A = this chain, B = another copy of it.
Amino acid sequence: MFKKVLIANRGEIAVRIIRACREMGISTVAVYSDADRRSLHVALADEAYHIGGSAPAESYLNKERIIEAAKKSGAEAIHPGFGFLSENDSFADMCEKSGIVFIGPSPEAIRLMGDKITARKIAHDVKVPLVPGSDGAVSDVEASVIAAEIGYPVMIKASAGGGGKGMRLVRSKDDFESSLRMARSEARSAFGDDSVFVERFIERPRHIEIQIIADAEGNTLYLFERECSIQRRHQKVIEEAPSSAISSRTRKKMGEVAVRIAKAVKYKCAGTIEFIMDQSQNFYFLEMNTRVQVEHPVTEMITGFDIVKWMIRIAAGENLPFKQKNIVMKGHALECRVYAENPETNFLPSPGVIEYLRTPSGPGIRDDSSIYNGSEITPFYDPMLSKLVTWADTREAAIKKMESALREYIVLGVKTNIGFLIRTMGDDEFRKGKIDTGFIERHPELLKPSAAGTEKALIAAALSMSSSERTDTQSQKPASNWKLFGRRSGVSRSPSL
C-alpha cells in the first residue's frame, strides 16, 4: 500500500479522500491555491503545499506545480478527485512518466471516454442504445441542420464537457443560434475547446447512472444505480439510490450494460456510466465519468462499500475480493447538495464568510462537507457547501429524515438553497417519486420562502427594531450560567433583544 498520497483537489472531495487515507494509515499531502490557505483540506492533511493563484488555471489545473509538490513531498500516488484534472489524460500520462501512480483509470481509457463522440462509438460497438443525434462535433451550420432533422427540443453539448458546463437545451428554432453561441463560449472557457454536438431531447427523462468498479485483473462489478433526476442548470442537486423508477430486471440489465462499456476500454478504477431513461424504462447511454462522482455516498450508504478506499487499493495493485453476488443493497439513501446560492435568482452563487454554522447529525445522517465556523466561500470555485446524506430502511423514511435534518441546518453569512431542499422533500410529486430532469422548472413555487414563516419572521424583525440602541452592549456572549446562578430568572425572560 502507498505510504503517502497527494490529493490534487480542494473542498469536500479533498476532505473525503484525506479521511479515507488517514483511516488507511496513508500520509496525506494537500495542495492549495492562494484562496484556500484556511480551507479544511489543508487543515486535515498531514502536509500542504501552496501551488499558485486562486484561479483554477493557476493552481488546481497547474499540472507541473502539482507534480512538483508530489515529488517534493515524496508522495507515491495522486488522487485527482472530481473536476479539475480528474479526467485529463495528459495529466494521468505525466504522472505515469514521473513515476507517480495516478489513482484512476489508464490515460487511454480517460482519453477514449473523455471525448463524447468516441465514447458513443464505443458504446455503439458493444450494442448499447444511444440517443439519436449528430455523430460528432459539428459546425454552426451542420448543428442547425441536424437539430431540424432530429426535431426540437434538442440538446447542445460540449464535446469535452461534463458537469453541465457548455450544455444548452433548445426548445425552438428561434433560440438555437444564441444557445449555440453560449454553449461554445462556456465550453471554450471551461475546457479550452469549443466543439459541441447535438442530440434529441427526451421528454420527462430521468437521469440514472450505474456505479462500477474494476480492478487490474478486469474484475468489473456494478454497485447498482443512482437516480440524479433533480437538476438545476443541468447540475444535479438531489440524488438517491436505489431509483424508485426501475425494476430489478432493468437494474440488472443496466448494470450488465455498464460493465460491458467499462470492459471495452479495459477500465480499472471506480467509474460511472450515465444513462438517460424515458418513462418506460428505455435507457440510452449518455457518457462515462472516469473518476469518483460527487454523489458516490448514496451508493456507499446502501452497499456498505467504501468507493474511495477501493479506488486507492486498486491503484496500489489490490484486487477486488468480491463477486457480483456479494454486492447487496439495503435500505434507501438520499443526498442533498447544499449550495451557497440563491434559488430565487436562478441559483446565483452567494460567496461570503460562514458566520455561524450548526450542522445536523445523529443516526442515519452523513454530512460530507468542507465548511466550518469561520470558513469562507470564495467566488473562485463551485459554491457547494456540503453533501447531506441520509439513510433509512425505506425511501419514505429517508426523505423524512432528510427533511428533519435540513431543518436543523443553520448557516449564517451566505444564502443557501436549504429552504428549497426542505420544500422539495415535502413536495407530493417528489415523495411519490414522480421526478424527471424538468422537476425544478415545473416547480417554481419551491424556490421561494414559504409564507409559513412570515409571522415568526415578523416577530423577530420587530424585536430587532426595538433593540437598535442596545446592540453594542448586547453583542458579547452571555456569561456562564454558573456566574448567573443567582440572577437567573431575570436573564431568562429578558424582554428585549
Contact = CB atoms under 8 A, between A and B. Distances in A.
Interface of A: 15-16, 19, 22-25, 34-35, 37-38, 44, 50, 54, 297, 300, 304, 306, 330-331, 351-353, 356-359, 361-369, 372-374, 376, 378-379, 392-393, 397, 400-401, 404, 407-408, 477-478, 480-482, 485, 488-489, 492
Given A304-B330, A397-B23, A15 B54 contact: no
A186 to B, nearest CB: 22
A368 B379 contact: no
Contacts of A356: 373
Q: Which 3 A-B pairs have the closest CB atoms?
A: A22-B404, A361-B367, A34-B488
B408 A44 contact: yes
A357 B37 CA distance: 20
A358 B25 CA distance: 22
Contacts of A362: 15-16, 19, 366-368
Q: Which of A358, A361, A379, A477 has the most CB of B within 10 A?
A: A361
A37 B494 CA distance: 12
A358 B375 CA distance: 11
Contact of A25 (B363, B400, B482, B492): B400
Q: Which of A38, A367, A404 has the most CB of B within 10 A?
A: A404
Contacts of A407: 22
Given A22-B404, A37-B492, A478-B38, A331 B304 contact: yes
B369 A361 contact: yes
Contacts of A408: 44
Q: Which of A331, A366, A369 has the most CB of B within 10 A?
A: A366
B361 A34 contact: no
A362 to B, nearest CB: 5
A345 to B, nearest CB: 18
A361 B361 contact: yes
A408 to B, nearest CB: 7
12 contacts: A25-B400, A35-B488, A44-B408, A54-B481, A304-B331, A352-B480, A359-B361, A361-B368, A362-B366, A365-B366, A376-B481, A378-B480
- Copies of this polypeptide in the complex: 2
Contacts of A304: 330-331, 393
Q: Which of A330, A376, A407, A489 has the most CB of B within 10 A?
A: A376
Given A361-B368, A378-B482, A379-B482, 13 more contacts: A19-B362, A19-B404, A23-B397, A23-B404, A34-B488, A34-B489, A37-B492, A297-B363, A304-B331, A365-B366, A373-B373, A376-B481, A378-B481
Contact of A35 (B15, B392, B393, B481): B481
Contacts of A397: 23
Q: Which of A37, A44, A481 has the most CB of B within 10 A?
A: A481
Q: Which of A367, A369, A407 has the most CB of B within 10 A?
A: A367
A23 B300 CA distance: 22
Nearest to A367: B361
B363 A366 contact: yes
Contacts of A330: 304
A368 B357 contact: no
Contacts of A400: 22-25
Contacts of A363: 16, 19, 297, 300, 306, 366, 368
Q: Which of A24, A407, A482, A488 has the most CB of B within 10 A?
A: A482
A195 B110 CA distance: 74
A34 B488 CA distance: 7
A489 B400 CA distance: 46
Contacts of A374: 477
Contact of A23 (B16, B351, B401): B401
A44 to B, nearest CB: 7
A37 to B, nearest CB: 5
Nearest to A358: B372
Contact of A361 (B54, B364, B366): B366
Given A361-B366, A404-B22, A353 B488 contact: no
A22 B401 CA distance: 8
Nearest to A398: B23
A408 B356 CA distance: 19
Contacts of A482: 351, 378-379
B34 A480 contact: no
Contacts of A367: 361-362
